[in-house]
Amino acid sequence: MRIRTVLIGIGLAGNLLLALSLFFLFNYRDATQKEFANESLVSTYEAAWFQTLETSFDAISAWLPITGERGNYWDPENPIYPEEELSSPDDSYANPLIQFVTDKNIGEAGYLLDLMFEFDLDEGNLSFIKAYYPDGQRFIVLVRWIYLESMLVTPKRKMNTMRILMNFSLMQERDRGGFYKRS
């Protein structure tokens, strides 16, 4: 064989060996990165869930009756929002919220719940509020609009959801004679 052919063969074999080793190393590196990325994501998600859980319970526990810092809102004998002049001496309860829920006055109860939870919804401490009558019938849902918008990813989904919310709001308004209508 000629020297030139031997050198070309050695060069090709070297390049082939180099290509195979680089291919193996890149695959090994990708597998290792994916493994550590998955472990990192799991620990990050776990930490985020625990942090969210802790902060959510703090925000919700503030509204617990008796023990929460805002628990006085649920006391039937505590007149909340006296400046709104919502209760009268003829009412069974001094707390207008309890009276409105007992009387099934959706407009006034919704108005008070909106006042009560407005700060926590606006600050992002709570995402939504659902209120039920003692018999289990839901009468109001308050939603944090930023939370709602973040869930609507595509413009089509956003338009469909907004149309559904508008129809729902119009039906509620028709059924109860207007939003927060004072009786």
- Of 46, 61, 76, the residue that ends a domain is 61
The whole-number pLDDT of residue 167 equals 62
Same domain, 50 and 116: no
Same domain, 78 and 17: no
In a domain, 161, yes or no: yes
In a domain, 183, yes or no: no
pLDDT at residue 97 is higher than 80: yes
Q: How many domains does the chain have?
A: 2
pLDDT confidence band for 173 (50 / 70 / 90): low
In a domain, 181, yes or no: no
Same domain, 8 and 86: no
* Three-class SS of the chain: CCHHHHHHHHHHHHHHHHHHHHHHHHHHHHHHHHHHHHHHHHHHHHHHHHHHHHHHHHHHHCCCCCCCCCHHHHCCCCCCCHHHCCCCCCCCCCCHHHHHHHCCCHHHHHHHHHHHHHHHHHHCCCCEEEEECCCCCEEEEEECHHHHHHHCCCHHHHHHHHHHHHHHHHHHHHHHCCCCCCC
28: domain range?
Answer: 1-61
In a domain, 19, yes or no: yes
> pLDDT tens across 58-95, in order?
778 888 888 888 888 888 888 887 777 776 667 778 88
pLDDT at residue 13 is higher than 90: yes
